């Protein structure tokens, strides 16, 4: 009889232990429900850009790493008159932006095609780049990109329609 009682207690203890472990196993499921909480972390991966528009006003927006500055202007619906006329096909130079020297060095190499198009940009400086050719990375966080006072669209000049 003592053996039966001992076995019964052993089974009950095992069941309690199993039940306790089973409830512990549900924790990861509960933690999964918090996975929505990672969304803000993803948005934290965005890069902050400060545009200075043609009127000298500062406009702060965010863009995803990999997006070009032209993508950011379009996605944020920024109203920079004439900006990005060729939609990033390196045929206009209307996406001309000016950076400070420190940021300019971080922008990466410039291609011959971009250089050729930049030569036609209005108000060219030593730290000018084309916004459609600059892709965001976290190292560009907080960049300041100045939109020149005026814009020159080489395609209109070629047509003689400017
Ligand atoms: S949008 Fe035309 S060259 Fe960049």
DSSP string for residues in 64-86:
-TT-BHHHHHHHTT---TTTTTT
Residue with tokens 């190499």: 109
The structural domain count of the chain equals 1
Determine how β-strand 143-146 pairs with β-strand 58-63: unpaired
Residues in contact with 19: Cβ distance below 8 Å, sequence separation at least 6, in sequence order = none
Q: Is residue 76 part of a domain?
A: yes
Residue 34: band (very low, low, confident or very high) from pLDDT cuts 50, 70, 90: very low
CATH number at residue 111: 3.10.20.30
Task: Summarize pLDDT for 94-137 with one digit per residue, the tens.
Answer: 999 999 999 999 999 999 999 999 999 989 999 999 999 999 99
Say if ligand 1 is within 6 A of residue 134 CB.
no
pTM value?
Answer: 0.70
Q: Name the residue at shortest CA distance from atom 3 of ligand 1.
A: 90
Domain that holds residue 137: 45-144
Cα 123 to Cα 129: distance, rounded to the nearest angstrom: 11
């Amino acid at each position: 009889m003592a053996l039966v009682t001992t076995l019964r207690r052993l089974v009950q203890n095992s069941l309690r232990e199993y039940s306790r472990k089973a409830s512990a196993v549900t924790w990861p499921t509960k933690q999964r429900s918090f996975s929505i909480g990672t969304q803000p972390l993803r948005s934290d991966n965005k890069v902050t850009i400060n545009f200075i528009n043609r009127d000298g006003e500062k406009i702060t927006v965010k863009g995803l790493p990999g997006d070009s500055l032209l993508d950011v202007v379009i996605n944020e619906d920024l109203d920079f008159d004439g900006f990005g006329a060729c939609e990033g096909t390196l045929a206009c130079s209307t996406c001309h932006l000016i950076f400070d020297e420190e940021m300019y060095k971080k922008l990466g190499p410039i291609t011959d095609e971009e250089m050729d198009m930049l030569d036609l940009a209005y108000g060219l400086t030593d730290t000018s780049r084309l916004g459609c050719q600059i892709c965001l990375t976290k190292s560009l966080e907080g960049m300041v990109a100045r939109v020149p006072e005026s814009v020159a669209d080489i395609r209109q000049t070629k047509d003689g329609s400017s």
